[in-house]
Amino acid sequence: MTDDLLIGVDLGTTATKAAVFTADGTQLGAATAPTELRWHGPGEVDQDPDAFYAAATDTIRRAMEAAGADPARVAGLAVTGQMAGMLGVDRDWRPALPYDSWLDTRCRDERDALDRELGDELTRLTGCPPMVNHGPKLRWWARNRPEELARMRAFVMPGAYVAGRLCGLAGDDAFIDPSYLHFTGLVDARAGEWSPRLVDAVGIRPDQLPRIVPSTTVVGTLTAAAAGHCGLRPGTPVAAGLGDTAAGALGAGLVRPGRLLDTAGTAAILAGATAEYRPDVDGRTLILMRGAVEGLWIPLAYLSGGSLVDWFCDLLHDGDERIPRPGFADLVAGLEDLPAGADGLVFVPHLDGRILPSSPDMGGAWVGLRRGHGRRHLAKAMLEGVAYEYALYLERLRTLNPTLELTEARVIGGGARSAVWNQIKASVLGVPYATATVGDVSCWGAALIAGTAVGLVDDLADAAERAAPVADRTSPRPKDTSVYRDLFDVYRDVVARLDEPFDRLAAHRAAVATEARA
C-alpha cells in the first residue's frame, strides 16, 4: 500500500476543519469542531492556543474515521489558519502569550503611532497598509505587558503552533512561512527578509523572530503522542503550511495572473493574482500577500460580508420566539424580481468599521431611503453594497496593474450558493463569476502544500488548477452594469464623506458612556 493520502487542517476563528484527500483532490472524509472565542472586555479577544491543538487532533482523527482510511496511507499533512493574529511560545513550545486574535483591537493606538513614525514606508516595505496585525500587537505587549513578552522565545501563528505541537518542536525551531509576512509589519516583503528598522520600531528583540521557511518545508514529523491523538502513524511528515487566505486561493485555483477570488464567508474577501510586487501605498486599500505559487502576488481587501447577513436576519427576527428566525434563503427570496439598484437605495456595509483604508469608527448606512422602500429593497441594497465595496478594490487593483486583464472571478464560501448575489457581483464588477466546486478549499490548499513537501505533488500550480473545477457560470448583465456604474459613483462619494460624521458619532458615544460610568 502506498502513501497516497494528504490531510489539510484549517484553524478558523470559530471552527476548526480537517479533511482527507487523494493527491488529485478527491475529498474522502472531513470533520469540524467548534473553537471558542474569549471576550474579556471592549476590544479584548483571545483564544487558548492549546484549544487549537485539541480541535486539530480531534478533527484529524474523525476525518480519518469518516474516510475509512488506513493511517499508513497518509503521506503528510499541513495546517492553515487565521493570519492577522499571533501568539507567543517559550523555549519549550509552551504558550508564553495567548492567541491575540485578529478581532482584538487593543493595539489601535500602537497602529496609529507606527503609522505616524513610519508613514508610507511601512506599506512600501511590507505590502500591507497600517492595520491591526502582528506588529502593533507585539508593540502593545512590549509596552503594556513587558514581563510576559520577555518570556516569549518567538511569535507564531496558530497553524505553526499546532504544527509545532504535533512535531514536538522547541522554541528555537519557531517558523513562519512567507504567506503571513505582510501581516507581521516587520518585513521587507519583496526580499522576504526581516527589516531591522521595522523590528526596532515595534520593540521586540531580533532573537524573538521566527525563522522564515517556504510553505512546503517539512518542519518535523508526528510524535508518538501526537500520532495517538490524531489516529495517525508516528513519523508522518508535517509541512510548514500557510495562511488561510493563501490556502483558500490555492485550493480554489487562483494560481494565474488575471483571476479573482471572492471568499463569500463571514469575512468578504476579494483577491486578485498578479506577477508584480506593487504595494498600494497611495490608496492604502489593498493588502499584498505572497501566493503559495512561486512568483505570484495576491492583492486583496476585505470587509464583514457574511456577518452582515446574520445581523440583518437577527434584525428582522428581533428575538421573537413565536416565529422562525429568517435565514439567507429567506433574505434573498424574490430579490431577482427587483430592478438593479434597489430603486435608488445605497447601503454602506461597514457595520464593524472600515478595515482599509483604515476607518475603525465608520459604521453602516442606508442612503436614499424613501417611504416606498421595503424589506426587499433594504436586503438587495445590502448585497449590492458589498459589491460596490468590491468595485473600489478593483479600482485600486487596476490603477496599480493597468495592463492586467481580468478573466474570471471564482467564488467560494457560504455566499457562493446564492445565484442572486453572484449575479449582482458579476454585473457590478463587469467580470464573469463561477462557483468553485472544491469541498473544503482551505483544507485542500493546505493538503496541496503537504503533497508538494513530501513529493506527491510535482507542480503546485498545475495540481491546484486541475483539482479546482467550476460550475454555475454567471455573466454580467449589460443593462444592470450600466445602472450599477452610476450608483457605484454615488457609493464612492458617500463613503469618502462619512469619516467625519462617524468620528463625531463615536465621540458622542464615548461621552455618553463616560457620563454613564460617572
Write the CATH number for 85.
Answer: 3.30.420.40
- The answer on 102 and 225 residing in a single domain is yes
User: What distance in Å separates the CA atoms of residue 140 and residue 506, rounded to the nearest whole number?
Assistant: 23
- The answer on 278 and 130 residing in a single domain is no
Number of domains in the chain: 2
pLDDT band at 82 (very low <50, low <70, confident <90, very high): very high
Lowest mean pLDDT, pick from 299-308, 330-339, 495-504: 299-308
Output DSSP code: residue 329: H
- The answer on 355 and 383 residing in a single domain is yes
pLDDT band at 42 (very low <50, low <70, confident <90, very high): confident
Q: Within 10 A of 214 (CB to CB), how many other CB atoms are there?
A: 17
Above pLDDT 90, what percent of the chain?
A: 79
pLDDT band at 226 (very low <50, low <70, confident <90, very high): very high
Match 486541475 to its residue by C-alpha cell: 466
Q: C-alpha grid cell for residue 476?
A: 454580467
Is position 468 within any domain?
no
- The answer on 276 and 401 residing in a single domain is yes
Phi, psi values for residue 495, rounded to 5°: -60, -40
The pTM for the full model equals: 0.90
Q: C-alpha grid cell for residue 507?
A: 465621540
- The answer on 242 and 122 residing in a single domain is yes
CB neighbour list of residue 488: distance below 8 Å, 6 or more residues apart: 388, 391, 428
- The answer on 296 and 234 residing in a single domain is no
- The answer on 239 and 176 residing in a single domain is yes
- Per residue in 97-138, pLDDT (tens digit) is 999 998 888 999 999 999 999 999 999 999 999 999 999 999
- The answer on 230 and 90 residing in a single domain is yes
- The answer on 259 and 242 residing in a single domain is no
- The answer on 263 and 126 residing in a single domain is no
Q: Kindly tell me if the per-residue pLDDT of 1 is higher than 70.
A: no
Is position 338 within any domain?
yes
- The answer on 269 and 200 residing in a single domain is no
Q: What is the mean pLDDT of the chain?
A: 94
pLDDT, residue 445, reads 96
User: What distance in Å separates the CA atoms of residue 184 and residue 176, rounded to the nearest whole number?
Assistant: 10
- The answer on 268 and 242 residing in a single domain is no
- Per residue in 449-464, pLDDT (tens digit) is 999 999 999 999 999 9
Domain boundary among 188, 215, 246: 246
Higher pLDDT, 510 or 419: 419
In Å, how far are 34, 215, 351 from 82, measured between CA atoms? Answer: 14, 15, 21
Domain boundary among 202, 226, 246: 246
Is position 213 within any domain?
yes
Across 289-294, average pLDDT: 95
pLDDT, residue 470, reads 83
What is the three-class DSSP state of 371?
Answer: coil
Radius of gyration in angstroms for the set of CA atoms belonging to the chain, rounded to a whole number: 23
pLDDT, residue 451, reads 98
Domain that holds residue 52: 5-246
Lowest mean pLDDT, pick from 49-53, 260-264, 489-493: 260-264
Is position 64 within any domain?
yes
State the amino acid at position 413 in one-letter form: G
Domain boundary among 225, 246, 267: 246
Burial class of residue 394 (count of CB atoms within 10 Å of its CB; 0-12, 13-18, 19+): buried
pLDDT, residue 99, reads 95
Lowest mean pLDDT, pick from 176-190, 242-256, 307-321: 307-321
